[in-house]
Amino acid sequence: EVQLVESGGGLVQPGGSLKLSCAASGFTFSGYWMHWVRQAPGKGLFWVSRIDTDGSSTTYADSVKGRFTISRDNAKNTLYLQMNSLRAEDTAVYYCVRGGHGLNYFDYWGQGTPVTVSS
Amino acid sequence: QTVVTQEPSFSVSPGGTVTLTCGLSSGSVSTSYYPSWYQQTPGQAPRTLIYNTNTRSSGVPDRFSGSILGNKAALTITGAQADDESHYYCVLYMGSGLSNWVFGGGTKLTVL
C-alpha cells in the first residue's frame, strides 16, 4: 500500500524557515516524480514544486521560486521541502504527492502537514 | 498569467447527472494539457478521480467519467450519490518551465 506521511509543519514567524519531510513507503520511491501541493485555509489547491526521480531537475511555482527548495533522498525514501523567507500567504496545509507515471498528474496524496506563518 | 476556470458551485439531485467543466481564461483545453480531476471532502486529503483526460484512477466507480467538451475538460457524474457531495478540482499541465501545473479554483458540488 502506498503511504506518504508528511511531518515538520508548525508555527513560524514571517521571514523564518521551516523544512518539511515526507516519508514514502509501499512503492519504489526512486522511480517516481514527487510534488508538493498546498492548500490555504478555506481555499483551493495550489501546486508548489516538483522533483524528478533522481533529483537532478526541479521546478517551482512563481510565488515560491527562490525561497523554497525541493529535494529528495532516495536511500531514505524521503522527500523534503525547505522553505525560507516565509510569508503569511504561505500559511497552508502542505501535501506530499506522488506523480503519476509519465502522464503529468498526481496519483497518491499524503494527509498533509499544516504550516502557519504568523507573528 | 493563465487562469484555470471552474464553476464555483453546482447542485444535482440524487440519481441525477452533472457535468463540471475546466477551462482556460485564454484558449482551449485539449488533451495536451493532460487534464486530471480530484475530489476532496472537508478535512480530508484529495483523492484522484480521473487523469489523462478520461482515465479513471484505480477504485473509482465508472459513474465518474472525463472528456473534452467543446473547449473545456469535463467531469461527468452519472447517478449522483449523497457521498459525491464534495469539492472537485481540475488541474492542467502547462508544460515545462515555471508553474507547470495549474489548478482550477474548484467546484463545490451539492447533492440535494
When the pLDDT of each residue in chain A is averaged and rounded to a whole number, the result is: 96
Predicted pLDDT of residue B97: 67
Are A45 and B46 in contact (CB < 8 Å)? Answer: yes
C-alpha cell at A72: 529528495
Query: Among partner residues B46, B51, B99, which is closest to A109 by beta-carbon distance?
Result: B46
In 3-state terms, what secondary structure has residue B83?
helix
Give chain A's length: 119
B93 interface with A at CB cutoff 8 Å: yes
Instruction: State the Cα–Cα distance between residues A80 and A18, nearest whole angstrom.
Output: 10
Query: Model confidence over B15-55: pLDDT tens digits?
Result: 999 999 999 999 999 999 999 999 999 999 999 999 999 99
Q: Do B101 and A112 touch (CB under 8 A)?
A: no
Amino acid at residue number B19: T
Contact status of B10 with chain A (Cβ, < 8 Å) = no
Q: pLDDT tens, A54-104? A: 999 999 999 999 999 999 999 999 999 999 999 999 999 999 999 998 778
- Beta strand pairing status for B107-111 and B9-12? parallel
- Inform me whether the pLDDT recorded for B95 exceeds 90: no
- Rounded to an integer, the average pLDDT of A19-35 is 97
Q: Find out whether B40 and B89 touch, Cβ atoms under 8 Å.
A: yes
CB contact under 8 A, B101 and A60: no
Question: Is B48 in the A-facing interface, judged by CB distances under 8 Å?
Answer: yes
CA distance B14 to B83: 10
Q: How far is A66 from chain B (nearest CA, A)?
A: 12
Mean pLDDT of B96-101: 75
B60 touches chain A (CB under 8 A): no
Distance of CA B52 to the CA centre of its chain: 12
CA distance B101 to chain A (A): 6
Closest residue to A62, CB basis, from B57, B87, B98: B98
**Contact assignment for B45 to A95 by CB distance below 8 Å:** yes
Q: How far apart are CA B90 and CA B85, in angstroms?
A: 16
Instruction: Tell me whether residues A105 and B51 touch, CB distance under 8 A.
Output: yes
